[in-house]
Chains A and B, each alone.
Chain A
Amino acid sequence: MSLGFCFQSSFSANPILLFAGFESIIHEFDPWFNFRATKYLVANGFYNFWDWFDDRTWHPLGRVTGGTLYPGLMVTSGVIYHALRALTIPVDIRNVCVLLAPGFSGLTAIAAYLLTNEMTPSPSAGLLAALFMGIAPGYISRSVAGSYDNEAIAIFLLVFTFYLWIKALKQGSMLWGALCALFYGYMVASWGGYAFITCLLPLHAFVLVCMGRYSTRLYVAYTTWYALGTLASMQIPFVGFLPVKTSEHMPALGIFGFLQLLAFLDYVRSAIPSRQFQTFLWLFAGAAFGLGLLGLVIATSAGFIAPWSGRFYSLFDTGYAKIHIPIIASVSEHQPTAWPAFFFDLNMLIWLFPVGVYLCFQQLADEHVFIVVYALFGSYFAGVMVRLMLTLTPVVCIAAAIAVSALLDTYLSVKSPKPEENQAVEGAEGKKAAKSGLKATNKPVVGVYTTWGKGMIVSALAVYLLLFVLHCTWVTSNAYSSPSVVLASRLPDGSQHIIDDYREAYQWLRQNTREDAKIMSWWDYGYQIGGMADRPTLVDNNTWNNTHIATVGKAMSSSEEVSYPIMRQHEVDYVLVVFGGLLGYSGDDINKFLWMVRIAEGIWPEEVSERAFFTPRGEYRVDGEATETMKNSLMYKMSYYNYNNLFPAGQAVDRMRGARLPEVGPTLSTLEEAFTSENWIIRIYKVKDLDNLGRDHSSAAAFERGHKKKKVTKKRGPRVLRVD
């Protein structure tokens, strides 16, 4: 009954908040690609989807999409769509996609309920965990309607896989282990974060073994999960043979082997006398360790095992990404987490979390060890990378629910103990208490004597919980339910004003350009252009080819003479830039520009230099003091072209960076302005064709402006494309 309520509340809270402000729309960047892929799946069937080669992205390379994505999300919504159709419920695939995330957040709440119930006998803990899970902002960020992202279903799969693992471990059951492997396979098919499970379960097993808790239950659960789960994960083309090759999967494989050894030793111990067993054990352990290490070294040096993949490596050596892979460091979700972000996403759960973990130490059965390990690991990774807050949220909700339920169970009971009885009991039982537990819990529970004390704690808790709900509602409606495609701002009189430049520009592209016109933009907008404008792009958010991205970075950060051949070679028809100077919009391309420079510099250190974009005093400026390289770069020119004309002479101001711009704006000779959106957020330029008279573009443009043509004495050869 109450679970149903929790389920409903978590399901219904989100869409209402969303639809209050905006129409049904897909959010952000990645969801646009997922939506496009889902449409393709529904239209062409599963096998065509599996073999899908997408020639409309990464022009001119194309992308083997079927083999380079996690298909779980698309297949899930495809199945739901076809099931509803089979039930003769007419439904649009877009609505399935938009409402998938809130639907799965309800399932996540149920999974959290089940997992918490495995941890504590108190029935209220599970309900509280489901409630927390349903409304914690850390998870709502990914479960609002329209957030059609892999994480939408992955968090449910994560929690449910953990639940099945605990179940399998407790019962030593092969059936539960197989179910766990099944959902693990589903998880692998859905999200790259599956590596979190792949590392956490072996770690849990390892900690249990170290605590001397090896048992046949553990053996059965782990080996069933590992064997079946690895087979399942290898069915995904994108994952393929990674589980036996890359280092992040090695702990799981290593623990698998280790458990086999332990099982073997266990068998030998039951067969031979203990004296001989000691000798045997030492020899055996030494040999196994030596052989394993040797094998690992040989396999790594011979190249059978890939080195740590960059994204994973950057989690441990935190300075690594900044030096070696700027493309990873440039993503805002990969930044480390400051403390306000934790409090913002979890509010009071953040301090209830340690309480719950401490309570887990009280009993410390196998499943409590899991919570402790998960808590430690999850909080470390959440601290390193903002987006991994998502994997921390479930354990925070569970631990906090255990803590709150322990408090409520103690202080909400009507029965009060009598002082005299306990005084007598104390002497008898004081010394008997178990030695292994926590020091604090050696004494028996007495209960709370005073009714006012109970009332005070319960009412304080009620206030905190109410505050938590208010906080979650506030955060969700303010931060997470506005799609970044549509910006909301407040007018001076307090009314809401919708800024819809992105969709305006994409609509323009859709209606005014050829079907196969290639659009060059920074990779952030690739998925949106592909999804909303339906035009081929050079690079997009699936950042698999660093060199290609660096090519775009070079074109943006070089002068026109260098950029033009690059754009011609890539058959670029239009260039799209995002400019926030008029509106004070911070997410624009000038602010991202240094990352383009850095990424380009990583490939062409001779031609692009980050240093050249800083003034001698080390400032990044866009006004009259900006460096020549900055002023001549294509990005600068495209952003500020014609911007002066908006203002009285000499008063042009960039409101984002608070800079007064030079009186004479930049000139463009190889591009012409094609479109600028209402608030100047999106600017689109058309790449000019080669000049009819064989002049180069700068002299042609100078001629148009009315400058006298310089006398050219040298006879020109046939017109050729300049190749750098």
Chain B
Amino acid sequence: MRLLTLLSLTLLGFGSAPTLAAAKKTPEERFQHYHNKALSSAPLKLADASYRELTSAPRDYSVAVLLTAMDSRYGCQLCREFQPEWELLARSWTGGDKKGESRTVFGTLDFGDGRDIFMSLGLQTAPVLFLFPPTIGPHAVASPEPIRYDFTSGSQAAELVHSWLARHLPDRPHPPVKRPINWMRWISSLVILSGGLTASYAAWPYVLPVIQNRTVWAAVTLVCILLFTSGHMYNHIRNVPYVAGDGKGGISYFAGGFQNQYGLETQIVATMYGVLALCGINLAIKVPRMTDPRTQSVALFAWSGVLFVVYSLLLSIFRGKNQGYPYSLPPFM
């Protein structure tokens, strides 16, 4: 019973405001009013009443409303990321359509200003982007219900939302998104570039020997090869976590399964490859060039010992990744 009264109250509250407002103004007047407002500051900052008035049922214009929660208390990361894109879209659309030919109004309703709207719509998440198509006029659609934009796939650029809007508003002008020129970025990159050029000109006599140094090139090449062959590109593309917990409060260094890996894991593997390669290089190049027999024997023994142990460790790690791999070397059997 109580629920019923509550519901009817809400309905009353929801129903009465727009009828009052609509009684005052025709759809045409409403659009002109809000469009003029929008020309000075798009998107419009809406509150409960203005939201209801703008979206009330007989309308010959479209409304795009972003319901968002910008306050830091709600911790809505996506809202804050999307807000500048949304403002850019609204500004360039309204600015490119001063006469209102597309008959589209952009508005933003923050949770702080329109708590009741959020409640009445039963929204649990933010941001939500609604497009209210016109119900009367040449572009009228059958259902007055708004169309909801899907915020699932990753970052939202203004262009994506623009193409979504354009798809739903056919046969009307679609003013393109105009990104303002980022002067700060241009100036800073110019300064950095000229600074870099000056610095490199000044440092040229000192840099040149480094550039021409074969050992430096060899080192850079080997590091790159080790990075690539230890699955660094996989981390880069898949954004794998650096480490993960093992569920018991500890850290698991190696991901289970053949097709998975963690960031730290690839670094460990790259290091092991590096150590193995270093042993190989020393055994092939350094050791036979030692003139003292005693030093040579010690170096030989040490490098080959390290090689053996690390390779054994590598095999045992690989066995952990690939169950059923039958080969191993002592001591890590």
Let me know if B311 is at the binding interface, CB within 8 A.
Answer: yes
Query: Which residues 353-404 of A sit at the B interface, judged by CB distance below 8 A?
Result: 353-355, 357-359, 361-362, 364, 372, 375-376, 379-380, 382-384, 403
| B289, A446: Cβ atoms closer than 8 Å | yes
Write the chain B residue with the least CB distance to A410.
B288
Q: List 18 A-B contacts (CB under 8 A).
A: A338-B260, A354-B277, A355-B277, A357-B218, A358-B222, A359-B285, A361-B214, A406-B284, A438-B215, A440-B286, A440-B289, A446-B288, A450-B296, A456-B304, A464-B311, A467-B329, A471-B327, A610-B153
* B287 touches A (CB below 8 Å): yes
Smallest CB–CB gap between A347 and chain B, Å? 9
Q: Is the CB of A361 within 8 A of B322?
A: no
Q: Does the CB pair B225–A448 fall under 8 Å?
A: no
Closest partner residue, chain B, to A362 (CB atom):
B285
Q: Is the CB of B258 within 8 A of A338?
A: yes
A410 partner residues in chain B, CB cutoff 8 A: 283-284, 287-288
Tell yes or no: A272 within 8 A of B by CB: no
**CB <8 Å contact, B228 and A358:** no
**Nearest 8 Cβ contacts at the A-B interface:** A383-B233, A339-B231, A355-B280, A351-B276, A379-B228, A354-B277, A336-B234, A361-B218
Is the pair A445, B291 in contact by a Cβ cutoff of 8 Å?
no
> Which of B235-280 touch A at CB < 8 Å?
236-238, 258-261, 265-266, 269, 272-274, 276-277, 280
Shortest B219–chain A CB gap in Å is 9
User: Counting CB contacts under 8 A, is A447 at the interface?
Assistant: yes
Check if B232 sits within 8 Å of A383, measured CB to CB: yes
User: Is B332 on the interface with A (CB-CB < 8 A)?
Assistant: no
For residues 439 through 473 of chain A, which have their beta carbon under 8 Å from a beta carbon of chain B? 439-441, 443-450, 453, 456-457, 460, 463-464, 467, 470-471
Supposing A340-B318, A351-B280, A437-B214 touch, asked if A450 and B293 sit within 8 A by C-beta, the answer is: yes
Query: Complex formed: what's the CA distance from A447 to B322 in Å?
Result: 41
Q: Is the CB of A383 within 8 A of B280?
A: no
B10 within 8 A of A: no
Q: Once bound together, how far apart are the Cα atoms of A437 and B230, in whole Å?
A: 29
Chain A residue nearest in CB terms to B234: A336
Name which residue of chain B comes closest to A453, CB basis: B300
Say whether A423 contacts B229, CB under 8 Å. no
Chain B residues whose C-beta falls within 8 Å of the C-beta of A444 in the assembled complex:
289
Q: Are A453 and B234 within 8 A (Cβ)?
A: no
Q: How far is the CA of A195 from the CA of B301 in the complex (A)?
A: 46
The yes or no answer to B326 lying at the interface (CB within 8 A) is yes
A343 at the A/B interface (Cβ < 8 Å)?
Answer: yes
Instruction: Given A380-B233, A407-B280, A457-B283, answer yes or no on A375-B225 (Cβ-Cβ < 8 Å).
Output: yes
| Least CB distance, A536 to chain B, in whole angstroms | 35
From DSSP, what is the main secondary structure of chain B's interface residues?
helix
CB distance B289 to A443 under 8 Å? yes
Interface centre among B276, B281, B292, B327 (most CB of A within 10 A): B281
- Contact pattern, A 72-113, Cβ under 8 Å of B = 1, otherwise 0: 000000000000000000000000000000000000000000
| Cβ of A318 under 8 Å from chain B | yes
**Complex CA–CA separation, A259 to B261 (angstroms):** 44
**Which residues from chain A contact B233 at a C-beta distance below 8 Å?**
318, 336-337, 380, 383-384
Pairwise interchain contact B221-A340, C-beta atoms closer than 8 A: no
Docked CA distance A375–B233 (Å): 16
Q: How far is the CB of B289 from chain A (nearest CB, A)?
A: 5
Q: Which residue of chain B has its CB nearest to the CB of A380?
A: B228
Chain B hits for A318, CB < 8 A: 233, 236-237
B217 closest partner in A (C-beta): A361
**A513 to B: closest C-beta gap in Å:** 38
- The A-B contact count (CB < 8 A) is 193
Interface status of B152 (Cβ within 8 A of chain A): yes
Does A290 sit at the interface, judged by CB under 8 A?
A: no
B291 touches A350 (CB 8 A): no
- Given A319-B237, A376-B221, A426-B291, does the pair A338, B327 have CB atoms closer than 8 Å? no
CB pair B225 A353 closer than 8 Å: yes
Contact of B261 among A340, A423, A610 (CB under 8 A): A340
Judging by beta carbons under 8 Å apart, are A342 and B230 in contact?
Answer: yes
From 316 to 348 in chain A, residues with beta carbon under 8 angstroms from any chain B beta carbon are 318-319, 323, 336-344, 348
CB distance from A192 to the nearest CB of B (A): 21
Complex Cα gap A383–B269 (Å): 14
Q: Is the CB of A423 within 8 A of B297?
A: no
Identify A354's interface contact among B226, B285, B286, CB under 8 A. B226
Contact check, A354 vs B225: say whether CB atoms are below 8 A apart.
yes
Contact: B293 with A351, CB < 8 Å?
Answer: no
CA gap between A611 and B154 in the complex, in Å: 12
Once the chains are docked, how many angstroms separate the CA of A449 from the CA of B290? 10
Q: Which of B229, B300, B308 has a CB less than 8 Å from the CB of A342?
A: B229
CA distance in complex: A438, B289 (Å): 13
With A338-B261, A383-B228, A446-B291 already in contact, 17 other A-B pairs whose C-beta atoms are closer than 8 Å: A318-B236, A336-B238, A337-B231, A338-B259, A339-B230, A340-B261, A343-B318, A350-B273, A351-B272, A353-B229, A375-B225, A379-B225, A384-B233, A410-B284, A411-B283, A446-B290, A474-B325
Q: Which residues of A have CB within 8 Å of B229?
A: 339, 342, 350, 353, 379, 382-383
Note all chain B residues with C-beta closer than 8 A to A407.
280, 283-284
B81 within 8 A of A: no
Instruction: Select from chain A the residue with minimum beta-carbon distance to B300.
Output: A453
B11 contacts the other chain (Cβ, under 8 Å)? no
Evaluate whether A354 and B289 lie within 8 angstroms (CB atoms) in the complex, with A460-B307, A467-B327 already known: no
B125 — nearest CB in chain A belongs to which residue?
Answer: A616
> Taking the complex as formed, is A609 at the interface, i.e. its CB lies under 8 A from any CB of chain B?
yes
In the bound assembly, the distance between CA atoms of A319 and B237 in angstroms comes to: 7
Q: How large is the interface on B (under 10, 10 to 19, 20 to 34, 35 or more residues)?
A: 35 or more
Give chain B residues whose Cβ lies under 8 Å from the Cβ of A372: 221
Residues 37 to 55 of chain A near chain B (Cβ within 8 Å): none
A684 to chain B, nearest CB (A): 31
Cα(A359)–Cα(B221), bound, Å: 12
Contact assessment for B224 and A449 in the assembled complex, using a CB-CB cutoff below 8 Å: no
- What is the distance, in angstroms, from B112's C-beta to the closest C-beta of chain A? 26
Shortest CB distance B262–A (Å):
10
Least distance between B13 CB and chain A CB atoms (Å) = 28
- Is A2's beta carbon under 8 Å from chain B? no
Interface assignment of A436: CB less than 8 Å from any CB of chain B: yes
Q: Is A419 an interface residue, CB under 8 A from the partner? A: yes
Q: Give Cα A419 to B292, complex, Å.
A: 7
Residues of the B chain whose Cβ atoms lie less than 8 Å from the Cβ of A323: 154
* Most B CB within 10 A of own CB, among A379, A426, A436, A437: A379
Are A448 and B300 in contact, with the CB atoms below 8 A? yes
Whether B231 lies near A611 (C-beta < 8 A) is no
Q: Hey, which chain A residues are within 8 Å of B167, CB to CB?
A: 605-606
> Is B71's beta carbon under 8 Å from chain A?
no
The minimal Cβ–Cβ distance linking B208 to chain A, given in whole angstroms, is: 13
What chain A residues lie within 8 Å of B154 (beta carbons)? 323
By the criterion CB–CB under 8 Å, are B291 and A457 in contact? no
A438 with B321: CB separation less than 8 A: no
Task: Indicate the member of A342, A343, A354, A456 with the most B CB atoms within 10 Å.
Answer: A354
Q: Kindly identify which residue among A344, A348, A406, A447 contacts B311, using a CB–CB cutoff of 8 Å.
A: A348
| A556 CB, nearest partner CB in chain B, Å | 21
Q: Does B145 contact A (CB under 8 A)?
A: no
List residues 468-494 of chain A with CB under 8 A from any CB of chain B: 470-471, 474
**CB closest chain-B residue, reference A323:** B154
Q: Which residue of A lies closest to B322 (CB)?
A: A340
Q: Does B101 contact A (CB under 8 A)?
A: no
Task: Contact check, B297 vs A450: say whether CB atoms are below 8 A apart.
Answer: yes
Q: How far is the CB of B326 from chain A (nearest CB, A)?
A: 6
Contacts of A355 in B (CB 8 A): 277, 280-281, 284
Q: B150 at the A/B interface (Cβ < 8 Å)? A: yes
Cβ-closest chain A residue relative to B276: A351
B276–chain A nearest beta-carbon distance, Å: 4
- How distant is A602 from chain B, measured CB to nearest CB, in Å? 11
Q: Shortest Cβ distance from A388 into chain B, in angstroms?
A: 11
Which of chain B's residues has its CB closest to A443's CB?
A: B289
A180 contacts the other chain (CB 8 A):
no
Interchain CA distance A352-B274 in the complex, whole Å: 10
A24 CB within 8 Å of chain B? no
Given contacts A318-B237, A446-B288, contact A358 B218 (CB under 8 A): yes
